[in-house]
Chain A
Amino acid sequence: MSNALLKVSGLKKSFEISNGMFGKKKSVKAVHDVSFMIPEGKTFSLVGESGCGKSTTGRLISRLIEPSMGEIWIDGEEISKRKESQLKGVRKKVQMIFQDPYASLNPRMKVRDIVGEPLAIHTNLSRDERNKKVSDMLEVVGLSEYHADRYAHEFSGGQRQRIGIARALILNPKLIIADEPVSALDVSIQSQILNLLKDLQAEYHLTYLFISHDLSVVEHISDHIGVMYLGTIVETGPKEVIFSNPQHPYTKALLSSIPIPDPRMRRERIILQGDLPSPVNPPAGCRFHTRCPHAVDRCRVSEPPIKKGEGEDHFVACHLVD
């Protein structure tokens, strides 16, 4: 792979929870040893069911929450242990797009101020210069200058997400962390926003960390995919390999859940038994063994090593893959 813009290795995060004043302290292992890298200008998607830690991973990389362990390299800088005051330069390079376009825009601010806020924080531009940039950026994301004087609640969900994208882009960032950016939108709007994200990527040479539970969305936008289960990445590789030749049983099950828009087509669906185990005490050995249809004794005791799959960038964490 070419030079990595984002490199994450051994990232861990556990949240302390306590049961009442005298209860025993427990910890939720939300993210457990996650490593991956994203080459510049590419899109890496984290997929998995809700509660698997994909959003937490995104928030760790943007340093909205403190990592417990591990390294985060962004554009050649290690940021996992930096204090907030030392993060300003990095924050300029990394911007986020949030899932809920209704909640992520301040309802009491005009679009002009929402989109211009990163400029107000990171640059010394005058108000007029900022407004000029905001107007330009609104055009880029498919809105118009006259939208700038309105409040966020006057827009539809898709338009709001465009505002969120404009805000993320205005500082010319390198990395965009998009946390389920389309899952709150109608399907018809989803593709518009995804295409917009793709066009912007080509135009501004952006790198995306794309977090989603929706495989059809991920297939549309990704170059590489990481499949997460209970805080760990179980399989990672180029999109084509993951979709055509998945190795990990969990990936297979996930892929079989994508609906095929053809009623005559038959295929076997893998239905996983049981629920996602609690991350407070995750299963020993392979974390997936409680729901895995192929689990053997070895899976219950030892953690699976990361094995090379098909091609150079394909890795699987499963005992049963050779």
Chain B
Amino acid sequence: MEVTKEINPSITVVAEKKYSPFKEFWKNWKKQKTAFWASLFILLLILIAIIGPYIAPYDPYEPDYNATLQGPSQAHIAGTDEYGRDIFSRLLAGARISLSVSFLSVLLGAIGGTILGLISGYFGGWLDRMIMRTSDVLFAFPDILLAIAIIAILGPGLKNVVIAVSVFSIPSIARLVRGSTLEAKETVFVEAARSMGASHFRIMLKHIFPETASSLIVFISMRIGTAILAASSLSFLGLGASPETPDWGAMLSLGRDYLGTSSHVVMMPGIAIFLTVLAFNLVGDGLRDVLDPKTKNE
């Protein structure tokens, strides 16, 4: 026999609360525990990138030949490198370089990719074919190889790393945006906007772009992790930041000669890259669960 449950007779009165998409987002975001903490970590990183140089215990460029290749100690919590530079201070300074390079390159890639994707999906036809076939060609190269090729043309340096990473971000973002655009283009509210006489630009900006935004945000947050990794790899290969710069990838590159004797020189920037990329990927995963309409209806 089943025990009949007492039905709660009180009717929940729905308060006349104003709906706001941001409140809704915040409510769901707090439920994503891992992603939530990862996003706090990223906020901390951004903070470090801004105030890093002011809180660093040592000058990241200042050599100290009396204290080369020292392990972590009270004086140098992350040890020192072959010139006796404080690794912790260099990591703090490197956060600014890594974050600004990756943010800037993904931002540029996203702007270019979004514009191309919207045009491609909205207008279709030969424009679409041209843009998509070009990105297919770019897709055929492994990302890092493409970046190396671009730098081979432009020459090494952080500015060119930004250009290289943004160029190889463009095709995947263009393809993503094109997909959402094709979907959004067929909605009735876009048809309604057309029947009102809205211009193509207006329809793309006001009606289609917002539809692509959520998957774009998810993709961008994941892509920043990739961009950090790519920028570090390029610096490691000597194609990005010059060796004395406290770039995480350049630090890795310098330290690899001492891997057997003083492994902390490599370990410290390695851990910094690992944690940062992991944090961005976790945030991306969380954002996808919260924003992506396809996974929303569970």
Name A117's contact: one of B187, B191, B198, B211 (CB within 8 Å): B198
Contact with B along A142-164 (1 / 0, CB 8 A): 00000001110010000000001
Contact with B along A84-127 (1 / 0, CB 8 A): 00011001101110101001111111000000011001100000
User: Complex formed: what's the CA distance from A154 to B199 in Å?
Assistant: 28
**Number of cross-chain contacts by CB at 8 Å:** 60
A103-B187, A106-B207 known; A117-B19 Cβ under 8 A: no
Name B192's contact: one of A96, A149, A154 (CB within 8 Å): A96
**A149 B18 Cβ-Cβ under 8 A:** yes
**A64 B18 Cβ-Cβ under 8 A:** no
Interchain nearest-CB distance for A224 vs B (Å): 23
User: Complex formed: what's the CA distance from A154 to B194 in Å?
Assistant: 24
* Chain B residues closer than 8 Å to A98, beta-carbon distance: 188, 191-192
Binding site secondary structure of chain B: helix
* Chain B residues closer than 8 Å to A95, beta-carbon distance: 195-196
Name the residue of chain A whose CB is nearest to the CB of B20: A151
* Chain A residues closer than 8 Å to B199, beta-carbon distance: 121
Interchain nearest-CB distance for A25 vs B (Å): 18
**B196 A104 Cβ-Cβ under 8 A:** no
The size class of the interface chain A forms with chain B is: 20 to 34
**B211 A108 Cβ-Cβ under 8 A:** yes
Name the residue of chain A whose CB is nearest to the CB of B214: A108
Name the residue of chain A whose CB is nearest to the CB of B194: A64
User: Complex formed: what's the CA distance from A100 to B187 in Å?
Assistant: 11
Q: Check if A43 is an interface residue, CB within 8 A of chain B.
A: no
Q: Check if B129 is an interface residue, CB within 8 A of chain A.
A: no
Q: Check if B197 is an interface residue, CB within 8 A of chain A.
A: yes
Sample (13) of A-B pairs whose CB atoms are under 8 Å apart = A91-B197, A95-B196, A98-B188, A103-B189, A105-B189, A106-B206, A108-B210, A117-B193, A118-B197, A121-B196, A121-B202, A151-B19, A154-B19
Those 10 A-B pairs whose CB atoms lie nearest each other, nearest first: A91-B197, A103-B188, A106-B189, A104-B188, A96-B195, A108-B210, A118-B196, A104-B192, A62-B195, A88-B197
Binding site for A on B (CB under 8 A): 18-19, 21, 187-189, 191-199, 202, 206-207, 210-211
Binding site for B on A (CB under 8 A): 62, 64, 87-88, 91-92, 94-96, 98, 100, 103-109, 117-118, 121-122, 149-151, 154, 164, 167
